[in-house]
C-alpha cells in the first residue's frame, strides 16, 4: 500500500480537496425504503470515485491493502480493454 501511496503522491501531488466532493441524492428503487446518498470525488481528471454514505472504510491495514489491491485489479482490467 505504501508503494501505491508513494506513486500516487509522485504523480498527483495535489491532495483531494473538500470542494471536490459533491453530495447527490438518488431516487430510491421501488424496493428501497429511503434514498441513498453518495459522495462523488474526482481523484484526477477523468477518474471519479462514488462512495455511499454508509460505507465504512476498513480500519485494519490488511483490509485496507485488500481494498487497494481490488481497486488496482479492477482499474487494470478496465484500462486493458
Whole-structure pTM value: 0.54
Give the per-residue pLDDT at 10: 44
Give the per-residue pLDDT at 64: 95
Give the per-residue pLDDT at 21: 53
Q: Cβ contacts of residue 22 below 8 Å, gap of 6+?
A: 39, 40
User: What are the extents of the domains in the chain?
Assistant: 2-79
Cα 3–Cα 8–Cα 11 angle in degrees, nearest 5: 125
Give the per-residue pLDDT at 81: 66
Block means of pLDDT (10 residues each) for the chain, 81 residues, are 46 46 60 83 92 95 96 87 66
The C-alpha cell 488496482 sits at: 72
Provide, for the chain, the percentages of residues in helix, strand and coil under a 3-state DSSP scheme, each rounded to the nearest 5. Answer: 40, 25, 35
Give the per-residue pLDDT at 79: 76
Containing 63, the helix (H) or strand (E) segment is: helix 61-79
Give the per-residue pLDDT at 35: 83
What are the cell numbers at 33? 425504503
Give the per-residue pLDDT at 24: 59
SS3 call for 58: coil
Amino acid at each position: 500500500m505504501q508503494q501505491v501511496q508513494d506513486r500516487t503522491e509522485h504523480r498527483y501531488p495535489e491532495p483531494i480537496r473538500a470542494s471536490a466532493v459533491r453530495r447527490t441524492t438518488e431516487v430510491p428503487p421501488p424496493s428501497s425504503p429511503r434514498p441513498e446518498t453518495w459522495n462523488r470525488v474526482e481523484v484526477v481528471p477523468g477518474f471519479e470515485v462514488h462512495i455511499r454514505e454508509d460505507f465504512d472504510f476498513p480500519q485494519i491495514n490488511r483490509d485496507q491493502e485488500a481494498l487497494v489491491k481490488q481497486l488496482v485489479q479492477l482499474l487494470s482490467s478496465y484500462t486493458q480493454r
